[in-house]
Structure 1
Amino acid sequence: MRMDDHRESDNVEDRRGSSGGGGLRLGGGRLGLGTIAIALVASYFLGLNPLTVLNMLAGGGLPAVEQQAPASRPPADDATAIFVSRVLASTEDTWNAAFREMGRPYREPKLVLFTGVTPTACGTGQSAMGPFYCPGDEKVYIDLAFFDELKQRFKAPGEFAQAYVVAHEVGHHVQHLLGISGQVQRARQQVGEAEANALSVRLELQADCLAGVWGKRTDTMKNVLEPGDLEAALTAASAIGDDRLQQQVQGRIVPESFTHGSSAQRVRWFRRGFDSGDFNQCNSFETKQL
């Protein structure tokens, strides 16, 4: 991606480096990212809280969130953090313009860089969760080590793949501002597990579509994409489909347990947003065929 001459966002909080390491301290010990990844997978498929799994792996004891240093801007020599800051700035430009088209104000989210664990309005944020959005404080949280996992475990390298991850989480912020995520949460509380999962899938696919809209509009405005960039984002979307993850971890696919959508669905909805550049094409709740 051609982002070297783009502005950085003023909405980045760097909470890294406050505890001298990237692990989560439980039961008097420290867990590395490899163990945390195992806990995430186990919690996802067993329906357990990730902290519970981590606690068992650490040998007991209560989870302790290590104290965070005051938030600050990323250092000037941190290329990945600077890139993420520029991607966030591009989402600000895109969604400010899109919301003006709708006659609505856009409230820019914060993006928090952290390692291990960090406090959020949604509870304790953990690297094991992967990147996530918290509507309670309107912040996107990411441990940049996830990009290494994206490249090594998911075989999805490239800057546009990383940018897609950020844009997807900002897509959840857009859903929050429009009241969509709140409606879905209320609806999920009134139905059974399978129906609730299906609603989550539609929410996630819409966020993929919104990420595609961002990609198209940003490229149209600033010509940021290079050959192979789009393929990198599509590879990332495909790599984190529920069917592929379930096949890798448990050797079988259980569609009714999907919460994010299949690889094909995630690719299709990202492409839908990218090909159209129109957020009105991202209504995943009024279509029968996902």
Structure 2
Amino acid sequence: HFKKEWDYLLVKSGDELNLGNRTIKFVQTPMVHWPDSMVSYIPEEKLLLPNDAFGQHIASPERFDDELGWNIVHESAANYYANIVLPYGDQVKKALETINQLPIDMIAPSHGIIWRANIPKIIDAYTRWANHETECKALIVYDTMWGSTKEIATALASGLEAVGIPVITRSLQTSHMSEIMSDVLVSKGILVGSSTLNNGMLSSVAGFLNYLKGLRPQKRLGFAFGSYGWGGQGAKNVQEVLKSMGWELPAEPINIQYVPDPAELDFVRETGMKIGRIIKG
């Protein structure tokens, strides 16, 4: 990075560095989330120094997970994983194979709170996230110009809830895409809606989908919806992106011209119920 010659000691997986009273053992974990990522382990303390793994973007006067509480630290760890580590699930699984063989009393990541009380729970969470395991719930993400796409989103949510599917609805006007990724991490169904503008989807939806595609969540059900005055390319463009991600698309997009009438909203609700039954399996 600095393009200078430094007096480095190069280490690789299996190497050890004796510090006298303590020993550092090294395990390379490439792409979690950097090519040169490495886990360090101090057996005398049963202390794991995992670099970016198990980290959170959180700052508090508390230093340990039991001081701040599992719910808060887990939420932050999930957001960190969803926005940074998610594309590297296969590499995470390899790292976990090594970590699970070590006796660990404490995990001190490069970012955030130190784990000591909830180590089995965060390792279990990482295992689920790395395998792209989701919960039986749906996430609806949309933006709207004059409210028609919002009406469709509301009707879809009603249909999903009618068959027992919990729904998280996020407007891109009020929710940042990095916050939404925490919902993507745990949701089986991802429904994305956009009005049509200038022969395409809204820029907010395009930005979200570009960000989502780069993070590569897998094993999801996708659905596109939208509204338009003429043209109607917005929902079609959303569908194309979802298809390119390799997701299952259980229904044709809903694309309604002008303000949806009661009959159209009934159809939207029925479609939500259909998608909900598929999510249930």
- TM-score, scaled relative to structure 1: 0.22
- Where is the helix percentage greater, Structure 1 or Structure 2? 1
- Where is the strand percentage greater, Structure 1 or Structure 2? 2
- Look at both structures and tell me which one has the larger radius of gyration over its CA atoms: 2
- TM-score, scaled relative to structure 2: 0.22
